[in-house]
Structure 1
Amino acid sequence: MALSLDGGGWSAWLAPEDGGGITALRFSGQDILVPAPVGTPLGGPFGAFWMIPWANRLDGGRLGPHRLPINRAQDGTAIHGLSRDRPFLVEGQAPDRVLLTQQVDAAPYHYETLLAVMLDAAGFSLDFTVTNRGEAPMPFGAGWHPWFVRPPGTLLSFRATHRCTHDERCLPVAATPSHGLDGGEDAFLGLDTHFAGWDGVATITWPHLTLHMRATGALAGNLQVYAPPALPVLCVEPSSHLPDVANRPAMASLGPMRQLAPGESMTGRITLRAESSHQP
C-alpha cells in the first residue's frame, strides 16, 4: 500500500515494500515523475527507485572475486543493485516526512540502508545512508533512478567534465572531455549515456515548471542520462560511480566504487526544488 506525504507544495507516494521507491511525485498538482500504474511493481518507465549497493550494470555480475545474480539476461549483466528488490520498514513517519530502514543479507553483501524523505518549502529531499554490516571490506555504490515526465519542449542542462562512449550493452568503453548538456531533445534524445565530473547540479525545464536537482555527498560526481525515443520519459540519475567500474580499472578515476570497512557508512542527498517557469 502506498504511503503518502505532503508538504511545501509537494505530494509524494512511496512504496516501502517495493524497494523504498516512489510511485508518484507532484508539485502544485503537476506530475514530476511518470506515475506508476496501480499495482505495478517499480522498475518500469515510471516512478523512481534506489540502486544500492551498486548503480547501473556489472558485466557478467562480476565484482572482484564475487559473482552477483544476472538479472538482465539479454546483455548478461547484474543491474541496479539489490535493494530495489527488497522491502523497507517504516521506522518513523509524519505528514511531511518518513524514515525507512532496510537490512540486506545476500552474500557477499551484508548491509543496512536508511532512507529519509522530507517535503517542505525548501523542496523534496532524499537522504540515504548505507552501512557495511559484513565482516569484510566490500565495494559499495548507490544511485537514484527517476523517470521524469518529458512533455514536448523539455530542456535539460548540467555541467560535467567527461562523457562516456558505450558498447552495444551500454557499458562504458572510453571517455572524452565534455561540458555536459544544455538543450532539448536534439541534445539528449536517444541517450543512455554516463557523464563523469558532474558538479551535482541539473536543471530540467518544462513548459510551465522548472526543476532544479542538487546532489551532494556520495551522489555528486556521476550522472547517467537516459531518454528513449519511444517513450516520453527522461531519466537523470545521480550515481556514486561509473557503471561497471569494478571491471574497468583504466576508467576508475572517473568514479570508483567506495570500499567500506565493516561498520563504515556512505551517505548522500538529493534535493529537488521546483518553480514556475516563464519559458515562452
Structure 2
Amino acid sequence: MTNDVRTDDAGDQPARFSESAQPGQQGQPVRLKAGDAELTVDPAHGCRLTGLRIGGTELLRQGDKYGCFPMVPWCGRIELGQFRNGGERHQMPVNHPPHAIHGTGRDTAWRTVRADDSSAAFTYDLAAPWPYPGRVTQLVELAPDAVTLTMGVEAASDSFPAQAGWHPWFLRNLGTGEDVQIDFTPGWQEERGDDHIPTGRRIDPLPGPWDDCFGMPDGVDVTLTWPGALELKVASRAEWVVIYDEQEAAVCVEPQSGPPNGLNTLPRLVTPIDPLEISTTWTWRTLA
C-alpha cells in the first residue's frame, strides 16, 4: 500500500506559498482551486477538509465534526482504548465509550508546510497521549475533476503499530434531486459484534444500512451517484473501507489501511526506515 508520492519529502520541495500559508499565517484555512472545483483545508482543526465544492455545489456535510478528517494513528475503534506493542500495553483516551475512536490527528493542530493554488502539504508531530514519537504528513492535490489525498506516518525512533485513513461525510442529498446511491463490490464484510468491534470472522456482505468494515483486496473502489447531478468515485490501493450510512444527512466512505481495532488484530509496524503510506483519489463527473 505504498504510493508513488513520498509524503516524507513534502517539506523539502520548493514551495510557492499562497496567501493563507504565508509565514505568520500558520493555522489559517488553505483554499485550493482547479477549474470549477474548490477545496478548503483547516490545519488548525485536525487538517480536515471543511468544504469541497464542484461547480458551486457543496459535497461535504458542514460543521465542526464533519467535512473530511484524517484518521491517524489509528482508524475506527480500539477495543476499550487499549493496544499492545510487544510487551507494552498502552491506554488511549476513551472518547467513544467504551472505546477509543478515530485517532488523535483530528483533534490536533497541523502545520502548513507548503501551499500553492491547487496543492498543499501539512504535518504534525505525534505526541501524548500517543506514546511514540513520529511525524504525520498529509498532501492534498486538487485537479478540475479529482482530489488526491496522501498520508504518511513516520517513526522517529521506536517502531509502533499504526493505521491511517480518511473519514469523509458526503451529503446524502445535494439539493438537486434524489438521495445518493452507493455502489461497491466487496470481497467480504468484517463481522461486527454488539460492541461494534470486528469479531475476526469474515462473512458474506450483508445489505445496509451499514456501520461496517469491508475488505476489497484489489483496492477500495466505491461509486457514489447523486442521480441527475454528480457521480463520484472513491478509490485507493488500501484494502479496507468502512461504509456508514445510518444518518439522515450524510453518508461516509472511509478508505483505511486496516480494519477497526487493527492495532490489536492486524498490526502494521511503522519503523524509521519503513513509513506507513496511504492515498485515496476521488474523481467526479457531472450528470446534469
Residue correspondence of structure 1 range 82-161 to structure 2 within 5 A: 82-106=104-128, 107-133=130-156, 135-151=157-173, 152-161=178-187
Across the two proteins, how many residue pairs are aligned to each other?
Answer: 251
1:206 corresponds to: 226
Residue correspondence of structure 1 range 190-269 to structure 2 within 5 A: 191-198=210-217, 199-207=219-227, 208-216=229-237, 220-229=238-247, 231-248=248-265, 256-269=266-279
2:43 corresponds to: 16
Q: Which has the higher strand share?
A: 1
TM-score by length of 1: 0.83
Letter of the 1:265 partner, please give it.
P
1:51 corresponds to: 71
Counterpart Cα distance in 1 of 2:170 and 2:59:
6
Q: Secondary structure at the match of 2:233?
A: strand
The root-mean-square deviation of aligned C-alpha atoms, in Å, is: 1.9
Q: Secondary structure at the match of 2:195?
A: coil
Residues 1:122 and 1:24: Cα distance change in structure 2 (over 3 Å): closer
Counterpart Cα distance in 2 of 1:246 and 1:174:
13
Letter of the 2:246 partner, please give it.
P
Select which of 68, 72, 76 maps to 2:91: 68
Per-residue CA deviations over 1:176-232 (Å, capped at 9, x if unaligned) read 443x68xxxxx433x11110135321100002100011112xxx1001011124x22
TM-score by length of 2: 0.81
Letter of the 2:214 partner, please give it.
F
Counterpart Cα distance in 2 of 1:160 and 1:239:
14
Contact conserved, 1:33 with 1:148, CA < 8 A, in 2?
yes
Counterpart Cα distance in 2 of 1:159 and 1:258:
25
Counterpart Cα distance in 2 of 1:277 and 1:175:
39
List runs of 5+ in structure 1 lacking aligned partners. 182-186, 249-255
The alpha-carbon deviation at position 164 of structure 1 amounts to 2.0
Letter of the 1:18 partner, please give it.
H
Counterpart Cα distance in 2 of 1:209 and 1:26:
12
